[in-house]
Structure 1
Amino acid sequence: MSLIFLESKDNAKIKHLRGLIELNSARKKNQQTVLEGIHLCLAWLQQQNKIASLFTTEKALEHPDLEKIIDQYPGHVFVISESLYKDLSILDTTLPCLAIIDLPQNSQDIDFSKDTLILENVQDPGNVGTLLRSAAAANIKQIICTQGSASLWSPRVLRAGMGAHFSLSCFENIQLNDILSKFEIPVFVTSSHRSTSLYSTDLTQACVWILGNEGQGASEYALNHAQAVTIPQPGGQESLNVAIAGSICFFEMVRQRQ
């Protein structure tokens, strides 16, 4: 293990790391992002992926969980102070571990015949990550995001996804009207203002789910070009959080297929 100690926040490597954490433009320019935490790093390595750079603190070097990552990482380990790590970190408490990775390059085309989740202008990173995690658990392997949705590979979305990204085929910045008519399977959109219940809908075959913006819901285009379903809410709430609504839909689909 080769250690390099970095003390200044103005060091070029620290500036690069901070840019990737904070700026979508930096992630696009460098085609890299940052994983934070042991769980995410190990999940990434388990898929036979590589870490480009690894940052931690001197105290964390003694932790056996970090050793599992270092054992699979051939490069220099950059050691920074506890205070600098806290300044960079997006988490309140975690074993210090920040890994720069190259963004995966999706060489596949959209498959218009397989289970798909479309996120239409879903902006909260926590919601997006949670939806990817639920989709992966329900065996939905294809994710499409329209322009305006949170960046799938931002550190906050990655953290909320807890490694789900690494088993999914993801497409970003897609125009809904460019793809919707091409699907060969039923397309459903959630809406709290429609009468067709989720639980009376046949979900036994491959299908597409469209989930809309947290405040505005799905667009008129989506509502006019998909089958709108609602989740019954006998308690009388106006609507559900989009990540919760999506998870309910996915696992009703799973229930029906079993």
Structure 2
Amino acid sequence: MHVITSRDNAHYKELKQLATSAQARRKAGQSILDGVHLCKTWLQELGMPLLCVVGESALQNAEVRDVVQQCEQSDVRIINVPDALYAPLSQVENGIDLLFLVKTPAPTMPSQLALSAVLLDQVQDPGNLGSIMRSAAAAGVKQIFCASGTTQAWSPKVLRAGMGAHFVLDIFENVDLHALITSARIDVVATSSHTEQSLYDLDLSHPVAWLFGHEGQGVDPALLAAASHRIAIPHLGSMESLNVAASAAVCFFEQVRQLTQR
């Protein structure tokens, strides 16, 4: 375990740059996992990180000690910093001071849509994106395709909202959704408030790609026109529409209901 006590340390400065700059993370092809849950889930699903960073007081925590021990046994570099130096590396308030630096997964882009998937057109809110990923993973969806303008999938806020879902999904960013939709081998289903077809009347016993759009503007009209189906989610209350993450969860688990009933 390497101890760093100075803010002027070159390794600390580099780590702080990665922790605070999305551009730096994209350039390096690396991501920051902040907190015990994300770190433990990464170990379980994908193996060892590039680097483990732990705050001084966090070493008193049994879960942290277990994670650190696993890293030590695999010769992962471990950096121990005072709590005051850990704070600028984290966006979590009152969390446990443990983070991993990992190589951002880069799966091979499929030539066509053939498996159940999620297509996201300029979803802006990190919490919404992470929640959609978490629901998708729970429903057995394997692929997420994000158009340009969608919030960065591997940002710390999206990672926290995803609760580890990232590690069991293939995530693709800056995707041309129109080209993907027009070449798809499966139905593409878009949510829209301007249609009478109900989600519950659709046969979802086969793979589909779900298309969701911007929180305020919805799905781009050209993408909406290219979709195989445009569906609405029936509701009884006076609210005009559902939050995009809630809409996604309803759609995913209607498909789960149909698949499990069959």
Query: Structures share a fold, TM > 0.5?
Result: yes
TM range (shorter): over 0.9
Structure 1 portions without partners, runs of 5+: none
What corresponds to 2:80 in structure 1?
79
Q: 1:236 aligns with which of 235, 238, 243?
A: 238
Q: Tell me what 2:211 maps to.
A: 210
Amino acid paired to 2:126: P
Aligned residue number for residue 29 of structure 2: 31
Which amino acid is the alignment partner of residue 23 of structure 1? S
Question: How many residues are treated as equivalent by the alignment?
Answer: 256
Could you list the per-position Cα deviations for residues 88-122 of structure 1 after superposition, in whole angstroms to 9, with x for gaps in the alignment?
21111221101111111313525521101011111
Distance 2:169 2:190 in 1: 21
Segments of 5+ residues of structure 2 without an aligned counterpart are none
What residue is the counterpart of 1:109 in the other structure?
110
Find the counterpart in structure 2 of residue 70 from structure 1.
68
Aligned partner of 1:220 in structure 2 is 221
Q: What does the per-residue CA deviation read over 1:114-171, in whole Å, with 9 as the maximum and x for residues that have no partner? A: 1010111111111111101100000000110100111111111111111111111111
Q: Deviations over 1:30-81 (max 9, x none)?
A: 1111001111111111124221111121111121101221122123322222
Aligned-partner SS, 1:203? coil
Q: Does the Cα contact within 8 Å between 2:46 and 2:167 map onto a contact in 1? A: no
Residue aligning to 1:123: 124
Cα drift, residue 224 of structure 1: 0.7
Contact 2:32 2:99 in 1 (8 A): yes
CA distance in 2, matches of 1:21, 1:203: 41
Q: Per the alignment, in what secondary structure is the counterpart of residue 129 of structure 1?
A: helix
Q: How far apart, in 1, do the equivalents of 2:196 and 2:45 lie?
A: 43
Partner of 2:147: 146
**Counterpart pick for 2:254 among 235, 252, 255:** 252
Cα deviation per residue 1:9-47 (whole Å; 9 max; x = unaligned)? 343222222222222211111111100111111111112
Tell me, what secondary structure is at the counterpart of 1:77?
A: strand
2:63 is paired with a residue whose SS is: helix
1-side partners of 2:201 and 2:207: how far apart? 16
Report if the CA contact (8 A) 1:21-1:154 is conserved: no
Q: Give me the TM-score of the superposition, normalised by structure 1.
A: 0.94
2:109, 2:212 → 1: CA distance? 23
- Say whether 1:52 aligns with 2:50: yes
The 1-side partners of 2:126 and 2:14 are apart by 22
TM-score (norm 2): 0.93
Q: Which of 2, 5, 20 is residue 3 of structure 2 equivalent to?
A: 5
SS of corresponding position for 1:157: helix
Matches within 5 A, 1:171-210: 171-210=172-211
Identity level (%)? 39
Equivalent residues of 1:123, 1:148 under 8 A apart = yes
Give 1:255 shift.
0.5
Alignment-derived partner of residue 96 in structure 2: 95
Contact 2:32 2:100 in 1 (8 A): yes
